[in-house]
Chains A and B, each alone.
Chain A
């Protein structure tokens, strides 16, 4: 098992506990916005898809990485935009 894997495993485990605590009370008007925003954040996998698309040499890998880049980027952009639009009608203070 490589060091990078173990470090990532550490971080993942701690992040799960943090994530359970970050969201505790949410007013009902923000349920939708928050869910959409989280969908965008979950597409951060684009950060590993981008180098994969550039580094891959075989056709199959390249195709799959491309799909991953396009889908994940669309998820980030559309998710942030939709969350922004849904919160825009909200409070002005």
Chain B
């Protein structure tokens, strides 16, 4: 290896690792997710460039043929599968790293050049042998999680990302172990990074659903009896979403009146408006105790009446809204009123918040509204609950929002 090559390879690998870390960090924020993905793509190119330089005079043809075949398969699956939640081949791809690692372990054991099988038990071979063994086991685990994500009990449910994250985590561990055994620093580093980050993400998704990721993967402990797939998050995550929204429709209900949350709500709306977000209030005639209840409270909080919309106008505005923020309302946003003939609410006009791209429902619990009817809105994939007292939650969102806007400026 010449000096130039000896310097170039570690630098390419180092740059690649930095890109991977920054990319993953950015993927956690709505505003920067796309840029994060581009960084991850760049990281792959840098790593592969490093491989190409390092490989030197090896015959590139077999590697390139395999690469081309993999790309064709990848493009077919990448474009051919739907990215929404659901069963299918797509989620299985998260275990690709694990399966490939397991195959490499077999390759390593099958050859005398790469891995002299006789020396497995020799001094020094023990650690590498252990790494390869763990790599194989994690690879198999990744395949199990991949199959569970694609066709198991969580497939198509809100918990699917948790199982995909488990598959990615075990894949990362398998890759790291193979990288370790073969002394490749970038694969060991990035594999370890994903192993841990995937584990974290599985925990975060599990927490949002109130179940452990393993329970989700194997379909144990269905959570609430009445509701399935209910996601919940905190004020901070809700603020992350609101911060990048262009248009927000607020739907106040009886719960806002009880919590006296109108001032905290108006404060959030003011911060959003100053950030360039269009904020409208959807007023349902039956919201609150008496007709006009919401108007009185919002007027008290000095909300501009021009921002108020009757339910019919509100439903039109919701079609292109980024976020619908439901504050202490239940029956007036219940889609069963339109869809379920057996519902006591059937026929009542409702505010169709589910038409917004993302819906946050600030509510104390899953208890039904005055009608006593179950609200299937809470099970929709684009709906997240923020449990708590409306005033406290909105104050929390306000604080987070201000901090995030300041950080983004």
Contacts and interface: CB of A to CB of B under 8 A. Distances in A.
B37 A83 contact: yes
A5 B107 contact: no
Nearest to B276: A93
A13 B192 contact: yes
Contact of B37 (A4, A69, A80): A80
B124 interface: yes
A85 to B, nearest CB: 5
Contacts of B171: 39, 42-43, 75
Interface string A71-93: 11111111111111111111111
Given A23-B201, A78-B93, A61 B111 contact: yes
Interface residues of A, number: 88
Contacts of B233: 27-28
Nearest to A63: B107
B5 interface: no
Contacts of B96: 39, 42-43, 71-72, 74-76, 78-79
B93 A26 contact: no
Nearest to B196: A19
B158 to A, nearest CB: 9
Given A71-B103, A72-B97, A82-B81, A91 B244 contact: yes
A91 B30 contact: yes
Given A79-B93, A80-B78, A1 B124 contact: yes
A70 B70 contact: yes
B160 A32 contact: yes
A15 B193 contact: yes
Given A38-B165, A38-B168, A75-B74, A33 B41 contact: no
Contacts of B175: 42-45
A35 B322 CA distance: 22
A30 B152 CA distance: 22
Nearest to B233: A28
Contacts of A87: 33-34, 37
Interface string A54-65: 111110111111
Nearest to A36: B164
A47 B58 contact: no
Contacts of A13: 192
A25 B201 CA distance: 9
A16 to B, nearest CB: 4
Contacts of B31: 91, 93
B205 A5 contact: no
A34 B182 CA distance: 28
Contact of A11 (B24, B185, B196): B185
B329 to A, nearest CB: 20
Contact of A71 (B48, B99, B245): B99
Contact of A77 (B27, B29, B75, B160): B75
Nearest to A87: B33
A37 B169 CA distance: 11
Given A35-B161, A42-B174, A47-B50, 10 more contacts: A8-B184, A20-B196, A31-B204, A41-B172, A44-B186, A45-B178, A74-B70, A77-B73, A81-B79, A84-B34
20 contacts: A4-B185, A12-B180, A26-B204, A27-B237, A38-B201, A42-B97, A44-B186, A45-B100, A45-B101, A54-B58, A56-B107, A68-B100, A68-B101, A72-B97, A74-B73, A74-B74, A74-B77, A78-B75, A84-B37, A91-B31
Interface of A: 1-2, 4-5, 7-9, 11-20, 22-58, 60-93
Interface of B: 20-21, 24-25, 27-31, 33-34, 36-37, 40-41, 44, 47-48, 50-51, 54-55, 58-63, 66-67, 69-71, 73-75, 77-79, 81, 83-85, 90, 93-101, 103-104, 106-108, 110-114, 124, 127-128, 142, 160-162, 164-165, 167-169, 171-172, 174-176, 178-201, 204-205, 208, 231, 233, 236-238, 240-241, 244-246, 322, 357-358, 382, 384
